[in-house]
Amino acid sequence: MCGILGIIGKAAVAPLLLDGLKRLEYRGYDSAGIATLTNGHIARRRAEGKLGNLEALLAREPLAGTIGIGHTRWATHGKVTDANAHPHVDCTGGVVVIHNGIVENHQELKQRLAAAGHAFASETDTEVIPHLLEQYLKG
């Protein structure tokens, strides 16, 4: 089962998100990731395996920001890889999504979005969500 956490704070949220994900470890997972918002820019770190891998990545490449989301993944679509770990972004990097569930028609949606010019970076069903939002935001 996945764990999802979001924080809007006054101090750096990445350490708090990591701590929150550690508290959700009992749920089981195969990868984890965090995204934060700083000055209108979304940055993210993702790692397959145990939370220690994400923690080590964050130690090497810290995230700033007082707004963020975190996720522990239990794979349903796509292999256990960094690329398949959540959070996922759209083509612009301006929409970020974490998700617990299954997008049943993701193959059809992915084909339509790819035909419209969207580039996908994972094998997950969840990645279609930020691309759909991007498409609708374009108007």
6/73 Cα distance (integer angstroms): 15
Residue 84 CA to residue 74 CA, distance in Å, equals: 11
- Asked whether the predicted pLDDT for residue 65 surpasses 90, the reply is yes
Averaged pLDDT for residues 80-92: 95
| 95-105: average pLDDT | 94
Residue 11 clears pLDDT 70, i.e. is over it: yes
Alpha-carbon distances, residue 91 vs 41, 54, 72, 88, 135 (angstroms):
14, 23, 23, 10, 10
Assess whether pLDDT exceeds 70 at residue 138. Answer: yes
pTM exceeds 0.75, yes or no: yes
Q: CB under 8 Å to 73, separation ≥6 — which residues? A: 2, 29, 30, 31, 32, 33, 84, 85, 86
Asked if pLDDT for residue 139 goes beyond 80, the answer is no
Is the pLDDT score of 1 beyond 70?
Answer: no
Contacts of 127 (CB under 8 A, 6+ apart): 88, 110, 120, 121
User: Out of 68-72, 126-130, 135-139, which region has the weakest mean confidence (pLDDT)?
Assistant: 135-139
pLDDT band for position 29 (cuts 50, 70, 90): confident
What is the average per-residue pLDDT within 40-64? 96
